């Protein structure tokens, strides 16, 4: 039997199943929290830090990622305060400066309010969200991909570059990769990157579920409704 | 030695060992810590041993190799008891003199005595040396009493009596209460109240619990944990055992950096000795308490000093931190409740149990109790390990114990707490060594590193150094830490190379705030401290780099130029010979000139010149 706890997210008192994360509960309820590394059904590692929220206990607020935060009875969460917006904006700016050639990341940046990027663009082809690594390990138990190196040298690679027979060729890694969708005008040339800001958010190649959320219709959401499509795929 | 079955066995053996020790009235204590070993103390020890054997004195004189005494600047050092005679900078050739003159005839060898750099006079005994006088050595003073490889030494000075007291006459709740009252806080950097941590862990219900000793010390210029674990491993193990009894753990791990081979060796040896005596294992000292310790070697990542990354590493996974929404005292190693403390924290436990919480709490300030070991390095006369009571002003540490700057330069700042700490300027030197006060000042005690900087250090360059360190050591998992540090370093590099703008200073402040608030683990959360504290106290240096394109300390290579003062240059030609880039030319006895196109700004000419004719601008 499912146990329920009641949590307060942005003022709404929500009955949430015990063991679920704040991010899942918020999305289910229609409260939009931007996120990149979270994929429904996969474990959460809190790598992209876009889904940060304020967890208020005893009048003290703590910034933490909602994907790794499990709901607890009486929890008070604020997802859209000025402080969170500012921090989220800065993280999205870091991300888009790193990978302007991804439509998904361009969209996240625009929706987090990034209008101008204050760092030189770098145009790398991976933001290390770890979606592919976790999908490979957790859906197929194939472990054909992994993180290698640390700090600046961290990258995704086949372990020891030699475990190809473990790869089930399911293509999930490609489907889940936020880097596979280029901006509408096509890939930007090195040195000519810019913040587009015109695209609609599309983090995954699935059928869109239209009009699922009022925020999206208002143009302020993050198209979280498309998860219905992802669940169908799985 | 037989196995110790009861508390009484321990007492009997302790008394016996003490009597044995008293029979030999002459002792020569030679430091065998890593610092002194680097200055060849091993050769000195062998030479003295050889000399004692040839003079047939090895039964009447006890030669004790110990862990670090702290005064590493003067190594190798030796203390001769009775008399407390202190010799420094000993070479193997001095062994003959020491044995024949001092040990046999009681004569003091003048040339081996320590010279006080302030008064210039020779100091005869260890206790008169200002470096030691100004300290309050509670933990480090044990080091000279015991040979780290001998459990007999440790038991002779009262070792494991705190354990016997704890498991025989105190309940776990009483121990936790005692630790809470003592006000002991985590010495590894966070300063979390140890008693509260233990209480939370003991309340967590589980079939198995763990205690871990974190000896993965990686701060540049810090070696407190190394010296405690190398010099007195049994003290740490005893602390862990008391902690394990209090929280209900049955298994402990000492996680040591692999770069500390001596600490690994001594810890392993100590564990083996304790097992042999029955101090580790089933039913310790006749009680129902069973406990064992294993020594694990670290994989070489700085981030593995972070508790969750350390546990991942212990489990055999990649040493990466995980979110700590559930604390490790509830969900730690193998998802079991785990109490993780720093080496120094564990080492403080036995004396609290023996002497009582009030004894411990009598030292220190309101929020920070007891003593703290600091590793004092940088541009000062007496570098080494220093132990002071909490609340001692930084000024006392730097000037009274450290002896002030070398070469008569002015001290500009002190960097406390390693890469996670910050720089405090000289006008903040009245601040006490205290967790909360230093935190408010934008720095922290951290694990206890103290790097003193003089006017020849550029603070922008210092910030750049720490960012480079952190960029290499970040695990790279979360965005703010990986990209944030990277971008901060990019901006600081711009500033040091003369491309900086004033807007970038605002940007770096905002970015630093984001990294601090949103990073996953402690490494990222404190990564911005070196930048923020230097910006707070040395903003004018940043502005000089940006506005005037100059580096006031003459460090940042892109902004400085070497030239020769024709007035001072005698044309001796030393610089021409020294310059490996062939950038200096000139006729003999005529002023020389530096070709700026060839000059690599290495500074060799400057150190070679006897007439101070080389200028940096």
Contact A177, A195 (CB under 8 A): no
Residue spans per domain, chain A: 131-176
Question: Looking at the DSSP assignment, which residues form a beta bridge with residue A78?
Answer: A54
Question: Looking at the DSSP assignment, which residues form a beta bridge with residue A14?
Answer: A7
Of A49, A63, A120, the CB nearest to B479: A49
pLDDT in tens, B118-135: 778 888 888 888 888 888
* CA-based nearest residue to A21, from A37, A173, A11, A111: A37
* CA-based nearest residue to B398, from B435, B431, B443, B368: B431
Inside any domain, residue B5: no
pLDDT in tens, A137-188: 998 888 888 888 888 889 998 877 776 777 888 888 888 888 877 776 777 8
Inside any domain, residue B598: yes
Residues B464 and B436 in one domain: no
Contact B522, B306 (CB under 8 A): yes
Check A94 against B479: CB less than 8 A apart: yes
Min Cα separation A21/chain B (Å): 11
Contacts of A69 in chain B (CB under 8 A): 323, 325
Cβ-count burial A72-86 (b if 16+ within 10 Å, e if not): eeebbbbbeeeebee
Contact A194, A184 (CB under 8 A): no
Inside any domain, residue B15: no
Is pTM beyond 0.95 here? Answer: no
pLDDT for A223 equals 52
**How far apart are the C-alpha atoms of B51 and B590, rounded to whole Å?**
57
Inside any domain, residue B467: yes
Write phi, then psi, for B185 (nearest 5 degrees): -120, 150
Inside any domain, residue B146: no
Of B301, B322, B487, the CB nearest to A94: B487
**Total number of domains in chain B:** 5
Alpha-carbon distances of B118 from B252, B415, B430, B452, rounded to whole Å: 47, 24, 21, 18
CATH code, domain carrying B103: 3.40.30.10
CATH code, domain carrying B317: 3.40.50.11540
SS (HEC) of B406-462: HHHCCEEEEEECHHHCEEEEHHHCCCECCHHHHHHCCCCCCCCEEEEEECCCCHHHH
Check B514 against A87: CB less than 8 A apart: yes
B101: DSSP letter: I
pLDDT for A123 equals 85
Inside any domain, residue B11: no
Mean pLDDT rounded to a whole number for chain B: 90
pLDDT for B373 equals 92
* CA-based nearest residue to A114, from A146, A87, A149, A90: A90
Residue B4 tokens, joined? 């110790």
Put simply, whether B518 touches A (Cβ < 8 Å) is yes
Mean pLDDT rounded to a whole number for chain A: 79
Q: Which residue among B412, B438, B457 closes a domain?
A: B457
Contacts of A91 in chain B (CB under 8 A): 479-480, 514, 518
Q: Which of residues 304-323 of B touch A (CB under 8 A)?
A: 318, 322-323
Mean pLDDT within B226-232: 91
Spatial CB neighbours of B456, under 8 Å, sequence gap ≥ 6: B379, B409, B553, B554, B555
CATH code, domain carrying B602: 3.30.70.20
**How far apart are the C-alpha atoms of B393 and B583, rounded to whole Å?**
47
Residues B483 and B423 in one domain: no
Report whether pLDDT(B62) > 90: no
What CA dihedral angle connects B241, B246, B248 and B254, to 10 degrees? -30
Q: Which residue among B334, B361, B388 closes a domain?
A: B361
Mean pLDDT within A108-134: 87
Q: What ipTM does this complex have?
A: 0.86
**How far apart are the C-alpha atoms of B580 and B591, rounded to whole Å?**
19
Within 10 angstroms of residue B56's Cβ, the number of other Cβ atoms is 8
> Any alpha helices (H) in B474-612, and if so which ranges?
479-496, 502-518, 522-527, 529-537, 539-547, 574-578, 604-608
For residue B107, the enclosing domain spans 24-129
Q: CA-nearest residue of chain B to A96?
A: B483
Residue B510 tokens, joined? 């905002």
Mean pLDDT within A53-69: 91
Mean pLDDT within B441-470: 90
pLDDT for A70 equals 92
Check A46 against B514: CB less than 8 A apart: no
pLDDT for B465 equals 93
Residue B229 tokens, joined? 């674990």
């Amino acid at each position: 039997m499912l146990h329920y706890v009641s949590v307060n997210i942005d003022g709404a008192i929500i009955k949430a199943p015990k063991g679920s994360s704040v991010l899942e509960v918020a999305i289910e309820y229609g409260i939009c929290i931007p996120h990149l590394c979270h994929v429904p059904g996969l474990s959460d590692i809190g790598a992209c830090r876009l889904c940060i929220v304020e967890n208020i206990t005893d009048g003290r607020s703590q910034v933490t990622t909602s994907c790794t935060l499990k709901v607890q009875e009486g929890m008070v969460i604020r997802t859209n305060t000025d402080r969170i917006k500012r921090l989220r904006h800065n993280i999205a700016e870091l991300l888009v400066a790193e990978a302007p050639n991804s439509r998904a990341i361009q969209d996240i940046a625009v929706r987090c309010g990034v209008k101008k990027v204050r760092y030189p663009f770098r145009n790398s082809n991976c933001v290390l969200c770890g979606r592919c690594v976790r999908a490979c390990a957790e859906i197929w138990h194939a472990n054909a991909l992994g993180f290698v190196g640390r700090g600046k040298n961290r990258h995704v690679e086949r372990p020891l570059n030699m475990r190809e027979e473990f790869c089930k060729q399911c293509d999930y890694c490609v489907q889940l990769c936020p880097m596979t969708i280029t901006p509408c005008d096509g890939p930007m040339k090195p040195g000519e990157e810019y913040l587009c800001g015109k695209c609609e958010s599309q983090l995954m190649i699935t059928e869109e579920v239209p009009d699922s959320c009022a925020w999206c219709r208002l143009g302020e959401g993050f198209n979280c409704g498309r998860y219905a499509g992802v669940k169908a795929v799985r | 030695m037989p196995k110790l079955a009861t508390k009484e066995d321990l007492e009997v053996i302790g008394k016996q060992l003490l009597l044995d020790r008293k029979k030999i009235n002459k002792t020569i204590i030679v430091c065998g810590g890593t610092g002194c070993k680097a200055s060849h103390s091993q050769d000195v020890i062998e030479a003295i041993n050889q000399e004692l054997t040839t003079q047939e004195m090895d039964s009447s004189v006890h030669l004790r190799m110990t862990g670090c005494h702290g005064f590493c600047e003067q190594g190798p050092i030796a203390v001769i008891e009775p008399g407390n005679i202190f010799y420094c900078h000993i070479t193997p050739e001095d062994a003959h003199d020491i044995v024949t003159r001092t040990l046999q005839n009681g004569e003091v060898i003048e040339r081996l005595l320590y010279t006080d750099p302030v008064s210039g006079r020779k100091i005869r005994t260890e206790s008169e040396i200002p470096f030691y006088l100004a300290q309050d050595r509670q933990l480090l003073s044990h080091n000279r009493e015991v040979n780290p490889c001998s459990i007999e030494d440790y038991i002779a000075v009262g070792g494991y009596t705190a354990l016997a007291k704890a498991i025989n006459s105190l309940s776990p709740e009483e121990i936790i209460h005692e630790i809470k009252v003592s006000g002991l806080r985590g010495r590894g950097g966070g300063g979390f109240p140890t008693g509260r941590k233990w209480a939370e862990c003991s309340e967590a219900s589980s079939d198995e619990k763990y205690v871990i000793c974190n000896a993965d010390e990686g701060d540049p210029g810090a070696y407190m944990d190394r010296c405690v674990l190398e010099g007195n491993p049994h003290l740490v193990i005893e602390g862990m055992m008391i902690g394990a009894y209090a929280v209900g753990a049955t298994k402990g791990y000492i996680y040591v950096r692999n770069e500390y081979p001596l600490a690994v060796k001594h810890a392993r040896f100590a564990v083996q000795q304790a097992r042999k005596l029955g101090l580790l294992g089933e039913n310790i000292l006749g009680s129902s308490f069973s406990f064992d310790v294993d020594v694990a070697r670290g994989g070489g990542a700085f981030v593995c000093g972070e508790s969750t990354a350390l546990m991942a590493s212990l489990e055999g996974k990649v040493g990466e931190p995980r979110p700590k929404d559930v604390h490790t005292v509830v969900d730690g190693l193998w998802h079991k409740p785990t109490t993780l403390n720093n080496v120094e924290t564990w080492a403080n436990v036995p004396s609290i149990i023996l002497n009582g919480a009030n004894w411990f709490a009598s030292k220190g300030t309101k929020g920070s109790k007891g003593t703290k070991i600091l590793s004092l390095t940088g541009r000062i006369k007496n570098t080494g390990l220093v132990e002071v009571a909490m609340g001692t002003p930084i000024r006392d540490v730097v000037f009274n114990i450290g002896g002030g700057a070398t070469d008569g330069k002015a001290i500009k700042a002190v960097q406390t707490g390693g890469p996670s700490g910050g720089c405090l300027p000289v006008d903040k030197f009245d601040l006490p060594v205290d967790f909360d006060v230093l935190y408010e000042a934008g720095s922290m005690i951290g694990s206890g590193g103290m790097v003193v900087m003089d006017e020849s250090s550029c603070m922008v360059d210092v910030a750049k150094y720490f960012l480079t360190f952190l960029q290499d050591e970040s695990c790279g998992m979360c965005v703010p830490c990986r990209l944030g540090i990277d971008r901060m370093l990019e901006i600081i590099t711009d500033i040091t190379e003369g491309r900086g703008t004033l807007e970038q200073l605002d940007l770096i402040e905002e970015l630093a705030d984001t990294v601090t608030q949103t990073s996953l683990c402690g490494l990222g959360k404190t990564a911005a401290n070196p930048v923020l504290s230097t910006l707070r106290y040395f903003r004018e240096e940043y502005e000089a780099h940006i506005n005037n394109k100059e580096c006031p300390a003459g460090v940042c290579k892109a902004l400085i130029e070497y030239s020769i003062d024709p007035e001072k240059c005698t044309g001796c030609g030393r610089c021409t010979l020294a310059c490996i880039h062939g950038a200096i030319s000139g006729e003999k006895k005529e002023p020389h000139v530096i070709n700026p196109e060839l000059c690599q700004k290495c500074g060799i000419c400057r150190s070679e010149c006897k007439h101070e004719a080389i200028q940096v601008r």
